[in-house]
Amino acid sequence: MFRPPSADPTEAVILISAAAEWRPVRARYPATATVSTPYGEAFATAVDTPAGRRDVVFLHGGWGKIDAAGSAQYAIDRWRPTLLVNLGTCGGFVEDIAAGEVLLVDFTLVYDILEQMGDPDEALAHYATEIDLSWLRGPLPLPARREMLVSADRDIVAGEVAGLRSRFGAIAADWESGAIAHVAARNGTRCLILRAVTDLVSHDEGEVYGRPELFAGRAEDVMNHLLDSLPGWLAAGLPPTN
């Protein structure tokens, strides 16, 4: 059931995209009551952080750019968060990154835009987003590489790895980060995107392609790793309580 925007702002919304990423979240909070949204279920909880208890909302926003953009805007309109956090997975390029590494995303680019009437680089630049992380205070709760992440409504195509690397300097890709970062920037909302590498793609193949059970297991592992670190990220990213 659709609910109107909340009258009370929430300190942070934790936006989770794919179903394989959401399942470990629900397993972490099995008894917490959920509400329905136009995108997926959501629930409010408090997280104990090194800087005190913080009120947050977890929202299952859905996979792909359309639901990612829509759910990010919905979260901002309904809960007016100080911080929008996206925890999730991504695929990495062989030899550029290792499985399990965490990316602290500082730039996003949507690479599946095909402009044939005008300037294709101008079209790509329209949705490219630099994420300001100057407000993020140390120490950070886990090692994370500040990197660009490219997004498209598709898994990484093995034959495109060389082009993505040479054209953009990309080392990893996902489905949703470009849309989430763009919407957050349009709203002037602080955005923290943390994506962990579940699998690697070479020039020839992707190691989890055709093996969904392998991806699901790795997604559970990296999501639990990110959830364990969430209190530290909230302490580093939210304004001090006093």
Q: Which pLDDT tens digit goes with each residue over 154-213?
A: 999 999 999 999 999 999 999 999 999 999 999 999 999 999 999 999 999 889 898 999
φ/ψ of 215, rounded to 5, equals: -65, -45
Mean pLDDT computed over 52-56: 94
- Please state the pTM of the whole predicted model: 0.94
The 10s digit of each residue's pLDDT in 61-119 is: 999 999 999 999 999 999 999 999 999 999 999 999 999 999 999 999 999 998 899 89
Is omega for the bond preceding 231 within 30 degrees of 0, making it cis? no
For the beta carbon of residue 15, count every other beta carbon within 10 angstroms. 30
State the distance between the two ends of the chain, measured CA to CA, in whole angstroms: 37
Q: Residue for token digits 């300097």? A: 169
